[in-house]
Amino acid sequence: MEADTATEQYVVATRYPEEPRAFASTSSVAVGRARTVLTSKYAVQFAVVFIAYFVAGKLGQATTNIRSSNLGPVWPAYGIAVAAFLRYGYGIWPGVAASAFLIAYLSPVPALAAAGQTFGATVGAATAAVSLRRIPGFDPALLRLRDALGFITRAALGSAVVSSAIGVAALYLTHVQAYSGLGPAWLIYWLGDSTGVLLVTPLVFTLPALVKFRSHRHTVELAALIALSILACLIVFGDLPLVTDRFHVLAFAVLPLVMWAAIDFGIAGAALSVFIIATIATLSTALGVGPFAGNTAFAAAVLLDVLFMMLALSGLTLAAVIAERERAEAGRVQLVRERTAMETRLRLAAIVESSNDAILSTNMEGTIQSWNAAAARIFGFTEAEAVGRPMSMLIPGDLRDEAKRILQRFRTGERIDHFETIGLTKSGAQVPVSLTISPVADADGRLVGAAGIYRDIAEQKRAKEALSGVNRKLIEAQEQERSRIARELHDDIAQRLAVLAFDVDDLATSSASAPLQEKTITLRHRVAELASDVQALSHELHSPRLQLLGITSAIRDFVEKTARHLNATVRFDAHDVPDRVPPDIELCLFRVVQESVHNALKHSGERHVHVRLWGTAGHLHLSVSDRGAGFEVDAANGQGIGLISMAERIKLVDGDLSIESKPGRGTTVRVRVRLPGDMDLARSDR
């Protein structure tokens, strides 16, 4: 240890030559703390092994009626010793030796015999650990048949030969006679140590798994197994006063209980079941009851050991076979799952590579992890050039803040769907793209990155712009035709109707016949109404007030005339409307008001309509609402020409249109239009 400390100080001093003493001192402190931790850990292990061995030894010595000298049918302490070497390694031998010597010294044997038995137990247990570790991949939980058979033959039967040979030799060299001779003494010694390993060692490694939280059904089943095992043992071995018949010939009838435990609870259940049976059978025999009580101490001990070994061998091997089969089945299922997952990944990879969209993945820092062929085609970077670089390289410099916001959004687990932005190619060209980002989580649900899909929408943009141009031309042509028809109605037909009205009026005044005069007056009223309707239609097709006085005055004039003409109530409120509004926006909003008011009065069944027009910083807002019948907006989309016309007009002025309606809850049409940057808000409602 001193050499190790000197080496650490040398390494520290050579790595940090400026302050070698300080770092060497720090290293010494660290080594000292490590020593303390290791010493404390070993002390705990020593104490655990010492106490466990001592308690198990005392339990083994409790059956005095069937023991001879310092030998008995079951020696559970030897199972503790083997478990200690397997769990803590060979360095734990002082704990085993100290406890073994103490338990032997307190029994009626000389100190030299106690030392010999201690040596035999320690060497035998160490031999068991060495032999078992030669089995490739040995697991003390005995989940493989290979491990179970190796444990039985090497640890239980094989190592007990070493411990019993040394122990019996020590007894007879010190003139301690056990049972009826050397042969019987060795047999009992060997059987006692073997059964101690079979009963105790598996329980040490598997009992914690058995007592862990299980389902309610398993808990009830385990309790039933323990209760039935105790009851069966009491009936077979206990000679209960309430049971008049004796079942001594049914000693092996408890085997089905061991098999039940092995099938449903594995090695832990089998070990626990055999341990319970062995405890009750040994105590009953020691008390002089049960099928083995009428024999000599040697015969009783041999019969007990044979019973326990048969039960243990059956239970452990059956449990190991079942566990191995379950592991093989689980492995097969896992293999199928992995194969299916691999096939799925291959199919997905083929889909990704054949996609026309750029598909890439990134980690949480936005570094590109994968790059498909379409990404190379759209952005010009090869996979080798793109992987390992930040995703921000695909975004122009003036949109970097936008890229940061996107990165923050997907870090919170938010999905981003069809976000239209601009992509930057390797050559520096900009391409419009539709971006979809999906967060990617690992098996534990932690975010580990994102998958991004970039769709080139340049062609779509061009088609949309072309369609928008066509729509604009159609609307302009429509407005021109409206203006032409309005002029024809106003300048020609309305004037001719006015002249006709004067002629009819002259005819009425010059007519001498009273009936003819009355008919002429009626005709004059009809001509006047017709002229008024033609003039109103002319103004609705093309409002001169809109051009001369602006949007607020035109809408007010329209709602007043519409209310009078249709005998309805149309309320109009306006505030903060700019003095100067671009003509295309004015015309767009005016047409929306016309269409919305006509639809409300025609279809809603309500004669009260509310129109509002107001301005905010950078925007002009319009709403037309009623409390009438309402309709399903989704069902009406694309069906009404009026709605389509409104939507197209709003798109042409870069505005937003929303229609809120439900059957029986009325309808509200909302419009928001962006104003040019130099528009000032007015505080009038002209």
For residue 9, which of 21, 62, 18 has the smallest C-alpha distance?
21
Return the structure tokens found at 664. 């029986």
- pLDDT value, residue 492: 64
Q: Are strands 569-575 and 608-616 parallel, antiparallel or unpaired?
A: parallel
13 with 22: CB under 8 angstroms? no
Residue 357, SS3 per DSSP = coil
Lowest mean pLDDT among 147-161, 413-427, 511-525, 625-639: 511-525
434 with 420: CB under 8 angstroms? yes
126 with 85: CB under 8 angstroms? yes
- pLDDT value, residue 539: 59
Distance CA 546, CA 584 (A): 11
The DSSP H or E segment spanning 84 is helix 76-88
Tell me the helix, strand and coil percentages in the chain, rounded to 5.
65, 10, 20
One-letter amino acid at 269 equals: G
Residue 101, SS3 per DSSP = helix
For residue 659, which of 596, 577, 606 has the smallest C-alpha distance?
596
- CA 591 to chain CA centroid, Å, is 52
- pLDDT value, residue 618: 83
Distance CA 460, CA 348 (A): 26
Instruction: Kindly give the interhelix angle for 182-211 and 20-60, rounded to the nearest 10 degrees.
Output: 120
CB atoms within 10 A of CB 197: 31
Return the structure tokens found at 562. 């519409």
Q: What is the pLDDT of residues 330-346, one digit of tens each?
A: 888 888 888 887 877 77
- pLDDT value, residue 16: 37
- CA 47 to chain CA centroid, Å, is 44
Q: What is the CA radius of gyration of the chain?
A: 50
Distance CA 578, CA 678 (A): 10
CB atoms within 10 A of CB 127: 20
Using the Cα atoms of residue 259, residue 261, residue 266 and residue 270 in order, give the sign of their dihedral: negative
Q: What is the pLDDT of residues 595-619, one digit of tens each?
A: 888 888 888 888 899 999 998 888 8
Using the Cα atoms of residue 206, residue 208, residue 213 and residue 216 in order, give the sign of their dihedral: positive
3-state secondary structure 61-125: CCCHHHCECCECCCCHHHHHHHHHHHHHCHHHHHHHHHHHHHHHHCCCCCHHHHHHHHHHHHHHH
- pLDDT value, residue 123: 94
Q: Does 291 have pLDDT greater than 60?
A: yes
For residue 237, which of 420, 416, 66 has the smallest C-alpha distance?
66
Instruction: Report DSSP state, residue 673.
Output: E
463 band by pLDDT with thresholds 50, 70 and 90: low
Interval 456-477 mean pLDDT: 67
Q: What is the pLDDT of residues 197-218, one digit of tens each?
A: 999 999 999 888 777 756 788 8
Q: What is the pLDDT of residues 126-176, one digit of tens each?
A: 999 999 999 999 999 888 889 999 999 999 999 999 999 998 999 888 888
466 band by pLDDT with thresholds 50, 70 and 90: low
Distance CA 308, CA 196 (A): 10
47 band by pLDDT with thresholds 50, 70 and 90: very high
437 with 421: CB under 8 angstroms? no
Instruction: Kindly give the interhelix angle for 93-105 and 76-88, rounded to the nearest 10 degrees.
Output: 160
- pLDDT value, residue 120: 92
Tell me the percentage of the chain whose pLDDT exceeds 70. Answer: 80
Interval 240-252 mean pLDDT: 59
The alpha helices in 355-388, defined as continuous H runs, are: 373-379, 383-386
CA terminus-to-terminus distance, the chain? 98
Q: Which residues contact 53 (CB under 8 A, 6 or more apart)?
A: 77, 80, 81, 84, 95, 96, 99, 100, 103
Interval 554-560 mean pLDDT: 85
CB atoms within 10 A of CB 511: 15
Q: Which residues contact 486 (CB under 8 A, 6 or more apart)?
A: 537, 538, 539, 541, 542
DSSP per residue, 586-610: HHHHHHHHHHHHHHHHHHS--SEEE
Using the Cα atoms of residue 415, residue 418, residue 420 and residue 423 in order, give the sign of their dihedral: positive
CB atoms within 10 A of CB 557: 17
